[in-house]
Amino acid sequence: MRFSKIELSQLGICMLIMGFCFSFGWFFNREGEPFSTNLMNFFVYVLVSIVAVGFGFFFHEVAHKLMAQKYGCWAEFRIWKPGLILAIATSILSFGTFIFLAPGAVNTVSSRQLSVKEEGYISCAGPVTNLILGVLFYIMYALRYSWGLAGDFRWHIEILGLTLNSYPFNIFTLIGKFGFQLNWWLAAFNLIPFGPLDGVNIFHWNKIVWSILVVLAWGFLILAAFGVFTL
């Protein structure tokens, strides 16, 4: 599998923007007042978001690319500018509480007409990858004490005599928790059978497969939201 320079640069841009979008809410408190969190902690959340959702986004697109190439297609990721702008706009306007995430997609070109099943398989690859990544991140979160990785960290930077300190945090707790939530949210969101999202092709190919994936993705997010299992 090969990546062009254009493809890698556009994937990198999207990863950075996703990191910003999913950490933007940390600028605000519940009353919507800006800059209510420590600046260094905001940088921490940006980095955590890049790892949690940026890599989830990257491997989501790589999974599409691999599956498309399996069926003999030329496949490369390209930014969808309206979707990227919409992601930034919804993040800012909702104070980071809702993000419409469709910054781009893997474009495919085939010398033949792909079957509905093949298109369904290609579309399935992304959400399934996010579900698997979510489980791995949750294992990191759940076993952090067993691995001796539950201690707190504190970052500080000195610039021109000024020291910027972060509040204590545990990087493995943050990455594990965010990684699970954001990757399963990516899967759940992309399974919506609407517009350019993966759910459209999966729904048209096999409604049973689509239903199983939807129940898994949305079900675990709802259970986590209601505290059925600890996060």
Q: 200 lies in a domain?
A: yes
Position 36 scores a pLDDT of 43
- Alpha-carbon gap, residue 156 to 46, rounded angstroms: 16
Domain residue limits at 201: 5-223
Please give the backbone phi and psi of residue 15, each rounded to the nearest 5 degrees, phi first: -60, -45
d(CA 196, CA 199): 8
In a domain, 68, yes or no: yes
- Domain membership flag for residue 46: yes
Question: Is residue 230 a part of any domain in this protein?
Answer: no
**Residue 81 domain-assigned (yes or no):** yes
SS3 143: coil
Residue 231 lies in a domain: no
Helix 39-49 × helix 5-23 angle, to 10°: 130
Measured N-to-C along each axis, helices 55-70 and 5-23 cross at an angle, to the nearest 10 degrees, of: 140
Q: Residue 150 has what pLDDT?
A: 60
> How many other β-carbons are positioned within 10 Å of the β-carbon of residue 100?
15
- What is the number of domains present in the chain? 1
Tens digit of each residue's pLDDT, the chain (231 residues): 778 889 999 999 998 888 888 887 776 544 444 444 556 667 777 888 888 888 899 999 999 999 999 999 999 999 989 888 998 898 888 877 778 878 888 988 888 889 999 999 999 999 999 999 999 998 888 887 666 656 666 666 676 666 666 555 677 788 888 888 889 989 999 999 987 889 999 999 999 999 999 999 998 888 877 777 666
**Is residue 36, in this structure, part of any structural domain at all?**
yes
**Beta-sheet strands, E only, within 99-188:** 104-109, 156-159, 162-165
